Amino acid sequence: MSRPMRKSQAVAGVAGAGIVAAGGVAVTARADRPVRAALIAAAAGVAAWAAFAPRNPLFGRVAWRGSVTGERMAITFDDGPSESTPAILDALGDAGARATFFVLGRQARRFPDVIARMAREGHQIANHGDDHGILIFRGPGHVRRQLRLCERAVEDAAGPGAMSGLFRAPHGFRGPATWPAARAAGYRMAGWTTGVFDSAEPGVDVIVARCNPAMRPGSVLLLHDADGWAPERSRPQTAAALPGILALGRERGLEMVTMDELLGTAL
């Protein structure tokens, strides 16, 4: 059986497709109009960059960092919940830390009790869409449906109002319709400061070491508590690494808060 695609492979693959597409524009443009071809190719390249760069504001403003002068940062988890999430919640509870979980609707339907626990224990539940599908080439109707299905699954599990107003697109990839559709549905776009590719399962000690530079005021750390490509898979390495990650924060006097608490009214 083949292994599910890793996040780094997905990022490289989709970004590569965008670069190829941008280059293709120049190739198919008329050879007797080189300036026009160059301008079109440049515009296509900028659009590809905006789609694949999680912090790029061209396709809408994205929250990816809080104040660097305080003593707070945010740890976030994508793609869950899964069988690893209860252990993650245990570690957060033991440390008195709060986190933000960008959940998938399909996973919320599989683990409603875990969603209810997130809400009960004071964590922020945020929208990651329903099925982890890439949104770059999707229209506003599809984006709204992804948001709505996830929101409904969360509120079925944890009650009305359990879903917060943050949305992180799968892989951070956004198309021209993503931000307007999310905003019309009442959501703000969220990114991150540092991702450590824990989804590649490099080992517990490696995950903790990669997080070390990110443990600073205002940082938004991206981790994963499930696998967006394989709904049945969990993230035991991330769960096992979390106590060490939280210890790094304590050593630096950092309070672990939700993204809403970190950002305030920044967006």
Catalytic positions, please? 78, 224
Name the nearest CA neighbour of 10 among 142, 199, 223: 199
Angle at 206 between CA 200 and CA 209, to 5 degrees: 130
Using DSSP, state whether 42 is helix, strand or coil.
helix
Name the nearest CA neighbour of 134 among 78, 191, 172, 77: 172
- Residues 225, 89: contact at Cβ < 8 Å? no
DSSP 193-223: SEE--GGG---HHHHHHHHGGG-STT-EEEE
Cβ-in-10-Å burial (0-12, 13-18, 19+) of 226 comes to: buried
Name the nearest CA neighbour of 84 among 207, 236, 229: 236
